[in-house]
Structure 1
């Protein structure tokens, strides 16, 4: 936030890497009438995130515009929500922009102007084309900009931009309350299986995520005084194959186009579930904007039944907020939108909603996690037709 009240306890964001700089602080949210519904005990241990699902935020035409529509739109959302952190989930640029650096500056200008910490992952279009800067070159720009938390990540891990952030409790505690992971989902690849097809999350990335998660968990376990529920989220650009699973229980949004992701399943979802990540957020498919859960029981590719040990993670799209790419699938126009996440570390609650073009109020507000546990969906989108799964997963009081 751009303004902080003196004497107010703050949370702190720290980098999960070797960057040598003081941690960036983030203040508590304002009351509902000022952009947020503050929850918890009033100790300041809550955190809000605005997701800028950027699909092609700036096209080659908008690269020369002083104030592109996407920049204006995200600025209005920031003024309403006043978030503690903004996450750019890829395709900040349309493919083959001749001046990547100027376009990047325009995309992040609203964040810097408002002194909001921000992080980013790359999308498939960000480094496409003859003139566009490489991911490595773009990251070297991003990580040195004001309020940036971006990092290249370990060199031995595939991709650029595999890193994590920890949200810390107010001083003097400084305990980790939440962890946010960021992963590179790579680019489009030649394929005889599917067109278009994309590189999957690589095994080196899964190993890095698992090792990091377990190391952080071990450190938290050694703190006998840490009784808070720890919530973790993860973000990448291209959806993993589970987003396209026909058995998904869809809540608070719609599937308006087919999921477009890698044909090969590297089972990153299983690693997320095993490590207890609450939700995975992605971009890429511009007009999908739902959150969904896989049922406890599902069939694999050989039609064998397998049971997930627990519900989750939630799989959430943000919907497109950029004006440089397509905004419809079929005859109906899609209004731009952003997803907002609210983490209440006092109660172990994770809530989400969307801000949509022309809508004054929150849209599709949904509680994903309560008391640290994934909330089962108690109604289901009729298009999925999974009533048996629904009844099995819901608890009737």
Structure 2
């Protein structure tokens, strides 16, 4: 949940858009060189490569950024600026090979116009300007319906609408209204306008679920040799129920059996809202063995129902871990049968909670295979290292 809607003024909106255009012009982050973003000119690529000479493949998970929250106040743009600082710190310390945006990239229910792609562009800017490829999945806030502020129905009335100027993936006037931006539009714009994006819509028959796809991490010496498979699933919320459907579960099962029939290649799974299995393994009070983490400050807010995905995952010996966001006050990893269930770390300054921000890091090693994880904090410190492949 984000902060509640408060006072809105025409001048605040104007100031906000002036601010946004200014930060976009300079690449958004701390005097970064100006970037030029064009339409995708290379084919979509399902393969990522391990580093040469046997080096590990490193991934940063950015969860619950909540860009665009309370954008009509002074508080809102400041939180987005602070979120960029967190991501920049993590990226500069870790120099990852890949970034995963783990849902709730934006707070769409706080967005007064169909400008979600403007905020989405800001959220991916620290990764994009560094030339790092990424993938994204959806959370429950990314296409939530706009919530009308009650203040707008007072004597002052609904404010005049100021539309953003044209930028890399948002074209202003024709879409400038109060309808919000749906999942399919957000994903299309990310894919079409970013050659570094590995995100996908996924199979059309899984609609309204969008971000369902798989990426292969390949050996550095053989592009066809898989070191790991990474599966991405849309856990719903916003415009449809918070659930991974039975159709998605079956899609995963068929896909996994097709590309990894003997379960020889390790598999890693990502979605936003934790499954009910997370409630079964959640530690009481602090974080204690066999769990590993640094904060355990709230109860697990799980999906509305379990439609079969966990039963499929636990039957596959190749599945090493599941990673989710959603709960800002949890960052633990706990074993569940033959795999690990992990939370990321709340990265963004938007959203609830005042716990220090950070990001979960994953490191894949090829020979012998290992999956290691730790948390890099906004102050540069590291904690909660754990081996997830044993």
Cα distance between partner residues in 2 of 1:324 and 1:368:
29
Secondary structure, counterpart of 1:68 in structure 2: helix
Residue 135 (1) aligns with residue 183 (2): yes
TM-score (normalizing by structure 1) = 0.71
- CA deviation after TM superposition for structure 1 residue 57, in Å: 3.9
Residue 292 (1) aligns with residue 303 (2): no
The worse-fitting range, judged by mean Cα deviation, of 111-120 and 256-265 is: 256-265
Provide closer, same or farther for how the CA distance between residues 138 and 189 of structure 1 changes in structure 2, counting only shifts above 3 A. Answer: closer
Secondary structure, counterpart of 2:92 in structure 1: helix
Residue 68 (1) aligns with residue 103 (2): no
User: Which residues in structure 2 correspond to 1:317-396 (within 5 Å)?
Assistant: 317-328=343-354, 334-358=355-379, 360-369=380-389, 375=390
Provide closer, same or farther for how the CA distance between residues 246 and 209 of structure 1 changes in structure 2, counting only shifts above 3 A. Answer: closer
- CA deviation after TM superposition for structure 1 residue 327, in Å: 1.8
Contact 1:279–1:312 (CA under 8 A) maintained in structure 2: no
Residue 102 (1) aligns with residue 151 (2): no
The worse-fitting range, judged by mean Cα deviation, of 54-63 and 260-269 is: 54-63
- CA deviation after TM superposition for structure 1 residue 143, in Å: 1.3
Contact 1:118–1:150 (CA under 8 A) maintained in structure 2: yes
Cα distance between partner residues in 2 of 1:285 and 1:161:
20
Residue 115 (1) aligns with residue 163 (2): no
Provide closer, same or farther for how the CA distance between residues 25 and 231 of structure 1 changes in structure 2, counting only shifts above 3 A. Answer: closer
- CA deviation after TM superposition for structure 1 residue 96, in Å: 3.0
Contact 1:353–1:362 (CA under 8 A) maintained in structure 2: yes
TM-score (normalizing by structure 2) = 0.72
Cα distance between partner residues in 2 of 1:173 and 1:148:
19
Aligned partner of 1:20 in structure 2 is 43
Aligned partner of 2:95 in structure 1 is 82
Deviations 1:103-140 (CA, angstroms, capped at 9, x unpaired): 01100111110110100000000101234200011010
Q: Which structure dedicates a bigger proportion of its chain to helix?
A: 2
Cα distance between partner residues in 2 of 1:154 and 1:78:
31
User: Which residues in structure 2 correspond to 1:1-397 (within 5 Å)?
Assistant: 20-21=43-44, 26=49, 28=51, 43-44=53-54, 46-61=56-71, 68-94=81-107, 95-97=109-111, 98=113, 99-130=115-146, 131=178, 132-144=180-192, 145-158=194-207, 159-172=209-222, 174-187=224-237, 198-218=241-261, 230-245=265-280, 249-275=290-316, 276-294=318-336, 311-328=337-354, 334-358=355-379, 360-369=380-389, 375=390
Instruction: Give the RMSD, CA atoms, in angstroms.
Output: 2.5
Cα distance between partner residues in 2 of 1:127 and 1:96:
10
Contact 1:55–1:283 (CA under 8 A) maintained in structure 2: no
- CA deviation after TM superposition for structure 1 residue 50, in Å: 0.4
Q: Which structure dedicates a bigger proportion of its chain to strand?
A: 1
The worse-fitting range, judged by mean Cα deviation, of 43-52 and 104-113 is: 43-52
Cα distance between partner residues in 1 of 2:139 and 2:59:
19
Cα distance between partner residues in 1 of 2:349 and 2:312:
34
- CA deviation after TM superposition for structure 1 residue 22, in Å: 5.3
Provide closer, same or farther for how the CA distance between residues 363 and 26 of structure 1 changes in structure 2, counting only shifts above 3 A. Answer: same
Aligned length in residues: 302
| Unpaired stretches in structure 1, ≥5 consecutive residues | 1-18, 29-41, 191-197, 222-228, 295-310, 329-333, 370-374, 376-397
Deviations 1:61-118 (CA, angstroms, capped at 9, x unpaired): 2775696111121011101101111000100001232321210110011111011010
